[in-house]
A and B are shown apart, each in its own frame.
Chain A
Amino acid sequence: MDTNKKKETKSSSIDDIDKKIYANQVLYDQLHQSLVDETVSKDDGNQKKGKKKKSGVSWVTSFLLKFSNHYQSNELFRYALWGFAAVFFATTILTIIEYPLFSSSVKDDVGDGFMFGGNEPNWVDIFFHTFWWAVVTFTTVGYGDISPETHLGKFLTIIIMILNLGIVTMLTGAVSSVLVAARLKGDDTLDETKFYGHLIIAGWNPAVQSALRLIEANEDSASVVILINETEEEIIKRAVSGFDRLDITHLSGNFTQEGVLKKAFIEECGTFMIVPDESGLLPNEKPDEDKTVLTALTAKSILEDIQVVAYILDEEYISHLHRANVNEIVFPDEHIPHMLAKHVTDPGVPQLFDELITQEKQDKGIQVVSIPKGLVGLTHNKVSAYYKFKHKWLLVGYAIKKAGFSLEEQMGESGSPIIRDMIKEQLDGAGIKLSSDEHVIVEINPDDEYIIDGKHKALVLR
């Protein structure tokens, strides 16, 4: 707005503006030829290749891979497969040996019904018929509608039936052992391999479901989610049933406890979110926000580097959360006065916010995108021109991951070593960490000459 006003006061003619736009385009054209586009197209190429590979690696191999994984990891699957193989093997043998017998029995059994071979049964009919006999025998059902009649056939059937006894026993055993194991393990031990960079949400609140829906819409975000709360399993199940992309696990327990958080692999998590917990509250009761602070402290004591986002309703707790070194605090009440006032002073602004914030489609609204490597080190106006002309996005500003303040870094080599050592020693002794955590700050609409470094991500309006 400011720059616009300046331009107006300068009373620059339309020609001037045209020239500027032209200059911008020239700038863009130059950019287009330079390394920027090269790297971008490379990026694009890589992505395409990646996608192609996905479809290129034929489904057969991926199926085989899954199959062998399954075979190795799932006992039940292994037995079932062997059982099936045995039935199949028996069928084949019997079809060959007892061909005349089974063929006449097919005729008797089926009569005028459909046969693959028309009037006379062909080998498909015989095979199917034998297969029927094999399954009836193997499952110990034994209808007795067909049975081998030659000595050789009977002899083979004896062997098969005895073998079958073992296979069926093993299969039954496997089924029950798998079921018992699952029961014993319960819900609270999760598969460790899956949980890395996942999202943990401690506490249950109607906002969680909506938040999950927004996360679901953005395909770049982590897909594994663990919910920790003491709300009834049924309610949670109903709330999270509509999600396809997200893999949501519910862990029932008191999330202020270290043990419960560790069960959710909090050390490996990407984001740990704490929301006001409404588990088991009556409609007029307020969530206990002490729990939020306590949980933040517990999480940070488990591992200082955990990215903790806390949603708080009561302003009073903000200072406590800061002290707990929480990375980001969401305090919605803060926005209410602005929204109310803007309806009076700048009608349209609240509507804009609504439009931007509530946009659920992945490719619309305000988003954070990484900046192509080729653009790092360039000025804001160039990066802005790139997004404008290349993608038709409006570059609003930057999200910058800023390393937390580090006293040690700040002191560097200045002053006398003895004093520096003493400071470190004394602060350490008092349990005060010498650095604060990384957090994200935003830089909105910077100067044209503002330099973009590798820690910047672009905030674009699509």
Chain B
Amino acid sequence: MSVNAKQIQKINYFSKVSEELCSEVAKVVKQKKCSPKTTLLKEGETGDTMLLIFQGQVEVSKNMMVKTSSGFTMSTKSIIRLETTDPSPANKPITAPTVSVVKAPAFGIGEFSLVLDDAKRTSHVTAMTDINYGIIQLEDFSKIVAKHPSIGGSVYFEVAKSAVNNLATATQDISNLTQAFFFALAK
């Protein structure tokens, strides 16, 4: 079973790419399936692939030092859940979400791998339902970009956009944390 151009186009990074070029991309995407609880990406690992989630729900989480009653411990904190709407997940998530669920037709995750050679995964991604996904290698993608520079422009633009947005949020987070830090110190 191969991936078709329409599926690729649903992913926001490829939304500006023509259907013709999407079918070029579709050719290099390896279609895969996995069951719930599978870890798709692991924080800290280097990877040169981007995942395209076509169907299902995944949870993004990060390792964090948190304070509990017994002191500081490292724990995995979920940050967000991503769920496809076209098609929507085939089954219910194994655990009810404790964080907000962002819905979109389909997702691309690990998009930094399209930009950096040895991009480290910034968070864990775990399957919450049966997942229908595709893998795209940086090498293959670079080849397509070399052949069709226009695809690079629009995909990198979208990646840059999301990176800039993340950066803005991160800046705010830092400012919030700084304030909270001073607030806690003042007490």
Residues of A within 8 A of B (CB): 323, 405, 407, 410-411, 414-420, 422-423, 426-427, 429-430, 432, 434
Contact = CB atoms under 8 A, between A and B. Distances in A.
A154 B64 CA distance: 101
Contact of B183 (A407, A414, A416, A418): A407
Contacts of B175: 414-415
B10 to A, nearest CB: 25
B95 interface: no
A418 B179 contact: no
B184 interface: yes
A414 B176 contact: yes
A418 B79 contact: yes
B184 A432 contact: yes
Contact of A411 (B64, B100, B179): B179
B170 to A, nearest CB: 8
6 tightest Cβ-Cβ pairs between the two chains A and B:
A415-B172, A415-B173, A414-B172, A419-B173, A423-B180, A411-B176
A62 B120 CA distance: 83
Most buried by A among B77, B79, B100, B176: B176
Interface string B150-178: 00000000000000000001101101110
A427 B66 CA distance: 12
Main SS class of interface, A:
helix
Interface residues on B, range: 20 to 34
Nearest to B183: A407
Given A407-B183, A432-B183, 18 more contacts: A405-B183, A407-B180, A411-B179, A414-B175, A415-B169, A415-B172, A416-B169, A417-B99, A417-B100, A418-B77, A419-B176, A420-B176, A422-B64, A423-B177, A423-B180, A427-B180, A429-B67, A434-B183
B173 A416 contact: yes
B187 interface: yes
Contacts of A410: 179
Contacts of A434: 183
A356 to B, nearest CB: 33
Contacts of A414: 172, 175-176
Given A407-B183, A432-B183, A418 B99 contact: yes
Given A426-B67, A427-B184, A432-B187, A419 B179 contact: no
Nearest to A406: B183
Nearest to A430: B184
Contact of A419 (B66, B100, B177): B177
A416 B179 contact: no
B40 interface: no
